[in-house]
């Protein structure tokens, strides 16, 4: 992992920073921003954190998360250096309407964009949090306990707490250093995995009861009636698609959620062998190899049939 | 972690070893035995692996697992050194009927026994696998890919893949070294967490549908009718008690399984604040602070009521 020299120089020389990350921020986005912001403040810099969307409730244990703003406000008049974290284009951060004097991009996602004067993109990094750890060390700043908690959370979320194939030697070494600096793995995992509301668990149970499996594809669905019965909303279905992965024969796990009258949002998760982005693309959606989705208007049975058919065709070519 | 000098000497000087671990072996027991056996064979020793119970199906991906024997056979005539791993008394390994010239105990559990001539017990070690890693290094043997897979699995199982509070700096450093030596975290996690039969998942769904929560205690149950409906057996309920922990208010998660006419086996899991061993003891059972159980003969409603009452009393004193 080689940090561009110009990037280190900018962090040392500039005074005013706007750190921004993608809409619907996840643990890696939030933790990377918070840790870098704290480091820059220790260097005496002025830092504003921006995300158009609020920090989701289940990430509000992350130290400093209340510092995020959902509007740019007066920072623009100070002509800040923009740092985009965990994304690589202004649209993903809802910043496409603005222009900036200079932009740094720090990301680990695939990119087709060339946005930004300084771009540090590590496609093989498991999390942006790993990159921020190395950056903070390179700036000569000691990792504080709050930085450690934020960066450990970032890495935990993007590696499924060290369960995904992206868990390499560097990931575990950095995690060890973060625990040494004060991160508490047990407490962080409890916040991440054991803080569901009972109503959300009830919705999960109802949803798992709809399980259908055909040709290595599992589908569960959530209807509006289920939301009404349990007092839940669509955001409560986050992560539901991962549960049927537990079954040995499942190669693709699909969640279908009602978002209106005969309107459905489809999320697909692959165990890694099948590329679900190609299935999503066939329905006008998008995503990554292991996680992709699309929307469809039809009755539920038609949606399911279409998914089973499309998946069978892609699996047979894999 | 200080390895007793006599232990290293014994491993160097003795020629014939019987490695044994506890009945109902888990990933830590199996992985520790397999890795140490491989290391001793590289030193030219004769090694026999013993467990009275077979390696459970979901651990049969572990390299060398077919080397375990469920009977002692001719090894006794060779007057072996007995090494007890992941347990500290002969009863736990179903060896109480035998006497041995010399016994070494290597374990990380609480112990009240003084069995064995050489005892290396590290109560603060997250897994016996961590101790075996350091032992193999101390013997000057390089960690092979198969040892790495076995030891990584051992550590993953006993730390909930780095989610429990016992995930310390040493745990993550050792895990990093094991990945460096060839362990594949993604593949191991898939074996551990994504290889359920569909019938087992169906049983889980039925069981979660029975969820009741009172005063921070969750109870789910499994009846014999559910087993019949799904074609499952009692061993399929392993780990079910952990699922309701996902709910924020749950401090103790309880699973009740039918084992006969009005006979029930109760498993309790604590998130760490409440000591469930004291609840189990009140019903004549046993276990650890975070995982304990007992058996009871009564109708289901009576069993549940007794558990809710006993748990309320212990929680109120915590």
CATH of residue A278: 3.10.310.30
Q: Are B144 and B29 part of one and the same domain?
A: yes
Judge: A160–B189 Cβ closer than 8 Å, yes or no. Answer: yes
Q: Provide the residue range defining the domain that includes B222.
A: 198-316
Beta bridge partners of B291: B269
Q: Are B202 and B106 part of one and the same domain?
A: no
Residue B111 has pLDDT above 90, yes or no: no
Query: What is the per-residue pLDDT for B137?
Result: 97
Q: Are B47 and B133 part of one and the same domain?
A: yes
- Distance (Å, whole) CA B12 – CA A71: 68
Name the residue among B163, B173, B194 with its Cβ closest to that of A246: B194
Domain boundary among A172, A193, A214: A193
- Please give the structure tokens belonging to residue B181: 């030596």
Query: What is the per-residue pLDDT for A81?
Result: 98
**CA A48 to each of CA A53, A73, A87, A94, A304: distance values in angstroms, whole numbers, following the listed order:** 15, 10, 17, 16, 45
Q: Are B178 and B266 part of one and the same domain?
A: no
Q: Are A291 and A145 part of one and the same domain?
A: no
Judge: B205–A208 Cβ closer than 8 Å, yes or no. Answer: yes
pLDDT confidence tier of residue B297, bands split at 50, 70 and 90:
very high
Pinpoint the alpha helices (H) of chain B.
5-13, 27-42, 128-138, 145-158, 169-180, 185-193, 198-208, 224-230, 276-282, 300-316
Domain boundary among B127, B159, B193: B193
Q: Are A72 and A212 part of one and the same domain?
A: no
Using one digit for the tens of pLDDT, what is the confidence trace for A141-167?
A: 999 999 999 999 999 999 999 999 899
Q: Are B237 and B165 part of one and the same domain?
A: no
Q: For residues B239 and B18, which has the higher predicted lDDT (pLDDT)?
A: B18
- ipTM for the assembly: 0.90
Residue B35 has pLDDT above 80, yes or no: yes
Instruction: Please name the helix (run of DSSP H) or strand (run of DSSP E) that holds residue A154, with its range, or none.
Output: helix A145-158
- Please give the structure tokens belonging to residue A116: 């930004």
Site from B143, B247, B269, B272 to mutate, A interface, most A CB atoms within 10 angstroms: B247
- Listed as ranges, residues in chain A with pLDDT below 70 are none
Name the residue among A201, A205, A249 with its Cβ closest to that of B198: A249
- Distance (Å, whole) CA A179 – CA B62: 29
We report the CATH number of the domain holding residue B102 as: 3.90.1640.10
Q: Are B207 and B180 part of one and the same domain?
A: no
- Distance (Å, whole) CA A42 – CA A108: 25
pLDDT confidence tier of residue B110, bands split at 50, 70 and 90:
confident
CA A8 to chain centre: 25
pLDDT confidence tier of residue B73, bands split at 50, 70 and 90:
confident
Section B132-160 average pLDDT: 97
Q: Are A17 and A164 part of one and the same domain?
A: yes
Residue B210 has pLDDT above 80, yes or no: yes
Q: pTM score, two decimals?
A: 0.91
Q: How many domains does chain A have?
A: 2
Using one digit for the tens of pLDDT, what is the confidence trace for A227-237?
A: 999 999 988 99
Q: Are B214 and B178 part of one and the same domain?
A: no
Q: What one-character DSSP code corresponds to residue B140?
A: T
Section B124-132 average pLDDT: 96
Judge: A186–B165 Cβ closer than 8 Å, yes or no. Answer: yes
Name the residue among A167, A176, A186 with its Cβ closest to that of B186: A167
Name the residue among A160, A193, A246 with its Cβ closest to that of B196: A246
Q: Are A186 and A211 part of one and the same domain?
A: no
Domain boundary among A124, A159, A193: A193
Query: What is the per-residue pLDDT for A289?
Result: 85
Q: Are B81 and B160 part of one and the same domain?
A: yes
Interface of B with A in 251-280 (CB under 8 A): 271-272
- Distance (Å, whole) CA A285 – CA A305: 17
- Please give the structure tokens belonging to residue A268: 């697909």
Judge: B247–A190 Cβ closer than 8 Å, yes or no. Answer: no
Query: What is the per-residue pLDDT for B239?
Result: 87
Average pLDDT, whole number, for chain B? 95
Check CB contact of B140 with chain A, cutoff 8 Å: no
Residue B112 has pLDDT above 80, yes or no: no
A180, with CB counted inside 10 A (0-12, 13-18, 19+), is: middle
Check CB contact of A1 with chain B, cutoff 8 Å: no
Query: What is the per-residue pLDDT for A290?
Result: 85
Check CB contact of A179 with chain B, cutoff 8 Å: yes
């Amino acid at each position: 992992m080689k940090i561009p020299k110009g990037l280190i120089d900018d962090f040392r020389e500039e005074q005013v920073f706007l750190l921004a990350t993608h809409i619907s921020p996840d643990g890696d986005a939030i933790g990377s921003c918070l840790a870098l912001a704290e480091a820059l403040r220790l260097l005496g810099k002025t830092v504003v954190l921006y995300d158009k969307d609020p920090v989701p409730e289940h990430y509000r244990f992350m130290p400093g998360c209340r510092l995020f703003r959902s509007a740019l406000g007066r920072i623009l008049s100070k002509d800040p250096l923009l740092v985009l974290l965990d994304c690589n284009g202004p649209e993903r951060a809802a910043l496409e309407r603005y222009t900036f004097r200079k932009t740094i991009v720090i990301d680990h996602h695939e990119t087709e964009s060339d946005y930004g004067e300084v771009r540090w993109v590590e496609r093989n990094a498991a999390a942006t949090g790993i990159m921020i750890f190395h950056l903070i060390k390179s700036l000569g700043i000691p990792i504080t306990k709050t930085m450690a908690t934020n960066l450990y959370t970032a890495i935990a979320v993007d590696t499924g707490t060290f369960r995904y194939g992206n868990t390499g030697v560097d990931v575990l070494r950095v995690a060890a250093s973060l625990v040494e600096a004060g991160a508490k793995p047990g407490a962080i995992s409890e916040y991440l995995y054991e803080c569901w509301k009972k109503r959300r668990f009830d919705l999960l149970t109802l949803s798992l009861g709809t399980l259908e499996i055909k040709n290595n594809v599992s589908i569960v669905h959530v209807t509006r009636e289920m939301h009404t019965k349990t007092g839940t909303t669509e955001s409560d279905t986050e992560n539901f698609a991962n549960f049927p992965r537990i079954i040995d024969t499942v190669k693709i796990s699909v969640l279908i959620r009602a978002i209106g009258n005969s309107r459905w949002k489809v999320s697909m998760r692959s165990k890694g062998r099948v590329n679900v982005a190609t299935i999503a693309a066939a329905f006008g959606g998008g995503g990554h190899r292991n996680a992709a989705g699309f929307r469809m208007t039809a009755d539920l049975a038609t949606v399911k049939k279409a998914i089973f058919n499309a998946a069978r065709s892609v699996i047979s070519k894999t």
